[in-house]
Structure 1
Amino acid sequence: MKLLSRSTFQNETDWLLYNKIAWRILPFLFVLYVIAFLDRVNVGFAKLQMAADIGLGDMAFGFGAGVFFIGYCLCEIPSNMLLQRLGARFWIARIMVVWGLLSISMMFIKTPTAFYVLRFLLGMAEAGFYPGVVLYMTYWFPSYARSQGMAYFNLGIAIAGVVGSPLSGWIMQNFAGDLGLAGWQWLFLLEGLPAVILGFVVYFYLDNGPGRVNWLSPVENQRVVRQLADERQHHESAGADHRFRAAFVNKGIWCLIFTNFALLCGTYGVSFWMPQIVRNLGVQSLLDTGLIAAIPFAVASVCMIAVSKHSDKTRERRWHGTLCVVASACGLIFSACFHDNPYLSLAGLSLAMSGGLAGFCVLWALPGVLLTGTAAAAGIALIATIGNLGGYASPFMMGWIKESTGHLEYGLYVLAAITLLGAVTMFAVPQLRKGGVAGSVTEPLSV
């Protein structure tokens, strides 16, 4: 089985070579992101029990869920610069061990203030993981295959929802009271441990980049290094800048920043509140809540792979990305309109998640093309840093609207409006409108 589509590559030699690389690193990175996303959003399930135990209201929960991203944003750019300097293997291992320990520490919180502090520290600890992996992809894959690589990595979000939602419900339902611990305390303990364990595995498994890795032959190492160097040179000659300051003045990067912000508003707004949304549909069992909450993520996992492969095959980004973001907004509106119908509401959430996650795959294939070198590291981190403020804003906004009006669906309308603005900025990326972005060394991206 080949992970990367044959139609993406100009010859079979490269197709086989980059599939060999894909099988080595993508499944492992995927597992890491499943753990990361699970530790990031399992607080949504924990709230179903934890809120009463520590006196946590809806708006307070929204603030605590979102304050994670304040710590995340403060440390993201320096974290990515350190990854480039110290190497992915050491830095990603460090990130995982620290965030795993802090995630486990969530089991000891007794007050809303402790909840806020640990969520903030957890954000600081995890900062740099996602943009670090995006940067790491540029070390291994040419830009014309990167959307597929990002799709398999982002599949971690979908699978975390498919597996994590029922798992979280099962843990809380079946472990409650064991050893004197509440179900939500067991949730943080059992879902935080894998991050610590895998952090040590990262150090011994990941390689910092091609050139001297022992699972590629000398000829294969040289071929990858040469092709990626040629591609960087091609992008620079087409206008991609490698200087650090370029990350802050590139108009295309700022368009992607807002698109990412809009997508993250929708994705995290739905992810953090999905258990509550399902509960509002009349579901009472924690396990049933988890199983139903998994449906939108399962649908999204299929759509994001299909869209990313088609985008890479056609070398087209502008319309693929824009239409995905529009679809996400339409799904949010549809779910809000039919909030009292379980089937139609879930259909809308499935469309919202599918469009959002597929949009991420297309979006994150672009920064390494618009910029190279140090500018790429800074630009990727900048997109993630400001974009992740959406992860702070949307849960808090949803909580405020729910507490003020008693209607969670009103928050979905606001998320839809923000997402539609994200579609506009994706469509407006100057380099895509002018045809100035190269999709490969020899072929331009279609616009």
Structure 2
Amino acid sequence: MSDTRAGQSTSSAFEAATYAKITWRLMPLLFVCYVASYLDRVNVGFAKLQMLADLNFSETVYGLGAGVFFIGYFLFEIPSNVILHKVGARLWIARIMLTWGIISGAMIFVSSPTIFYVMRFLLGAAEAGFFPGVILYITYWYPSARRGKITAIFMTAISISGVVGGPLSGWIMHALPGVYGLAGWQWMFIIEAVPSIVLGIVVVFYLQDRIIDAKWLSSEEKELLAKNIANEEATKVDMSFLQVMTHPKIWLMAFNYFCYIMGLYGISFWLPTIIKSTGVTDPLDIGLLTAIPYAAAAVAMILIGRSADKHRERRWHVAIPAVLGSVGLLLSTLYGHNTVLAMAALTLATIGILTTLPLFWSLPTAFLGGAAAAAGIALINSLGNLAGFVSPYLVGWLKDLTHSTDTGMYMLSGSLIVGALLTLAVPKEMVNK
């Protein structure tokens, strides 16, 4: 008996060490890539503080331009993920990063609403496939029981992009207006595009497509990893492309994700504006304040992701943060004229909204396998991210109509409650693994 226990302990230690090795090898680079991705996607929220006055754009024009990114994203998401599944993550992720970095830097040439819309559409088309591609890539290495924490680690990049990007964007727009004849918002787009281009080159030389390609793993480690993935794949559903497109559970997941993304981009594109409405005017101060909610969310995402894996429970770990996010948005409207109280409410909202996202992805990846995973993840992400178009446009339109962001926050709060109810409608035996 003691020999059996010793053998199990040794085997468990070896497995834990192997997964730790993978995590330290792959996740830092993927994490930094997502920081760059998210920063280039939402830094238009900071550009807005100066851009609208410089170019004479209305709030509705800004909201439409911020959101049209997701039309390009939607149209090219599924083809991009299917290509990644066929040609490998290394080359395709590198291609995605290089093209979006170049287009993001070219945002300095925006001079009219039409050019603004075109550039945001092209940026969305270029970036399509990166996020669902990484989610799919993670399933090649980690079984379901380990993906909650890993996906949470990866998606804390959203929080860190706020922690880093807010002060950086604020400082650039505060310090560089007029340098070489460029506005502060133009310098922001140039400087923040550089990391994406550099990282795209690094990906080519650093990532491996599959377990079998990893020369830094021993044969015993590869065998263990491959066995774990094979055992899990045997329990998953593989479907044709047509079956994926018409599967009711996938559409339920897509609508569920749509509700959460409504909240995410309400925060991402409007947080600087909401903070400014409390009486803070300097871009640098606004940038520093935006770091607070994102820093708190980064900690919460890791802790709750770890709890979900430990208890093998997914639905309540998604639904409860969604409700907290809804409450935070409502409180931010009640205390909108008090900077301290509004920041506390926005911090609660950001914690709740961002925590739902990584744990949401433990739901569809628990039952999708093979080519169905590539197409299904892309479909859920692309349909869900249409909320990235709807959310900023509606908030901008409502702000022009009512001269306040309060009505928009009520709408986003309700969306999060609907998302929580949809999550609890998912059968627990399907996802609690």
TM bin (shorter chain) = over 0.9
Match of 1:444 in 2: none
- Asked if structure 1 preserves the Cα contact closer than 8 Å seen for 2:313 and 2:432, the reply is no
CA-to-aligned-CA distance 1:77-129 (integer Å, 9 cap, x gap): 00000000110000000000000000000011111111110000000000000
The answer on 1:114 being equivalent to 2:115 is yes
Matches of 1:324 and 1:105, distance apart in 2: 37
Structure 1 unaligned runs (5+)? 1-8, 440-447
Match of 2:50 in 1: 49
Matches of 1:68 and 1:437, distance apart in 2: 31
Match of 2:88 in 1: 87
- Asked if structure 2 preserves the Cα contact closer than 8 Å seen for 1:212 and 1:218, the reply is no
Deviation at 1:194, TM superposition (A): 1.1
Match of 2:415 in 1: 418
Amino acid at match of 1:382: L
Partner secondary structure for residue 309 of structure 2: helix
What TM-score do you get using the length of structure 1 for normalisation?
0.93
Matches of 2:322 and 2:252, distance apart in 1: 13
Amino acid at match of 1:165: G
How large is the Cα RMSD of the aligned pairs? 1.4
Shift in alpha-carbon separation, 1:361–1:229, aligned structure 2, 3 A: same
Pairing partner for 2:260 from 246, 258, 263: 263
Amino acid at match of 1:368: T
With 103-112 and 89-98 compared, the bigger mean Cα shift is at 103-112
Matches of 1:358 and 1:245, distance apart in 2: 32
Shift in alpha-carbon separation, 1:436–1:103, aligned structure 2, 3 A: closer
Matches of 1:438 and 1:109, distance apart in 2: 47
Match of 2:202 in 1: 201
Amino acid at match of 2:217: L
Pairing partner for 2:382 from 377, 385, 410: 385
Shift in alpha-carbon separation, 1:312–1:10, aligned structure 2, 3 A: farther
> What are the within-5 Å matches in structure 2 for residues 120-135 of structure 1?
120-135=121-136
Pairing partner for 1:338 from 335, 339, 350: 335
> What are the within-5 Å matches in structure 2 for residues 151-190 of structure 1?
151-190=152-191
Matches of 1:287 and 1:426, distance apart in 2: 38
Matches of 1:438 and 1:392, distance apart in 2: 31
Pairing partner for 2:430 from 436, 443, 446: 436
Amino acid at match of 1:270: I
Partner secondary structure for residue 295 of structure 1: helix
Match of 1:272 in 2: 269
- Asked if structure 2 preserves the Cα contact closer than 8 Å seen for 1:55 and 1:112, the reply is no
Shift in alpha-carbon separation, 1:273–1:226, aligned structure 2, 3 A: same
Amino acid at match of 1:351: L
- Asked if structure 2 preserves the Cα contact closer than 8 Å seen for 1:211 and 1:222, the reply is no
- Asked if structure 2 preserves the Cα contact closer than 8 Å seen for 1:265 and 1:390, the reply is yes
Partner secondary structure for residue 436 of structure 1: helix
Match of 2:405 in 1: 408
- Asked if structure 2 preserves the Cα contact closer than 8 Å seen for 1:81 and 1:378, the reply is yes
Match of 1:60 in 2: 61
CA-to-aligned-CA distance 1:122-166 (integer Å, 9 cap, x gap): 000000000000000100111111011111111110000011000
Pairing partner for 1:376 from 373, 380, 388: 373
Pairing partner for 2:347 from 345, 350, 354: 350
CA-to-aligned-CA distance 1:349-399 (integer Å, 9 cap, x gap): 111111111111111122222110011111100110110011111100110
Identity across the alignment (%): 48
- Asked if structure 2 preserves the Cα contact closer than 8 Å seen for 1:243 and 1:373, the reply is no
Partner secondary structure for residue 211 of structure 1: helix
- Asked if structure 2 preserves the Cα contact closer than 8 Å seen for 1:88 and 1:132, the reply is yes
Deviation at 1:204, TM superposition (A): 0.6
Matches of 1:436 and 1:339, distance apart in 2: 41
Matches of 2:189 and 2:135, distance apart in 1: 27
Partner secondary structure for residue 11 of structure 1: helix
Amino acid at match of 1:164: G
Match of 2:5 in 1: none
Deviation at 1:62, TM superposition (A): 0.3
The answer on 1:394 being equivalent to 2:387 is no
Matches of 1:358 and 1:15, distance apart in 2: 25
Match of 1:445 in 2: none
- Asked if structure 1 preserves the Cα contact closer than 8 Å seen for 2:362 and 2:431, the reply is no
Amino acid at match of 1:166: P
- Asked if structure 1 preserves the Cα contact closer than 8 Å seen for 2:238 and 2:371, the reply is no
Match of 1:311 in 2: 308
Matches of 1:256 and 1:148, distance apart in 2: 20
Matches of 2:315 and 2:270, distance apart in 1: 30
Matches of 1:268 and 1:318, distance apart in 2: 22
Length, aligned pairs only? 424
Match of 1:442 in 2: none
Deviation at 1:209, TM superposition (A): 1.3
Match of 1:138 in 2: 139
Partner secondary structure for residue 66 of structure 2: helix
Pairing partner for 2:289 from 289, 292, 307: 292
Deviation at 1:438, TM superposition (A): 5.9
Structure 2 unaligned runs (5+)? 1-9
What TM-score do you get using the length of structure 2 for normalisation?
0.96
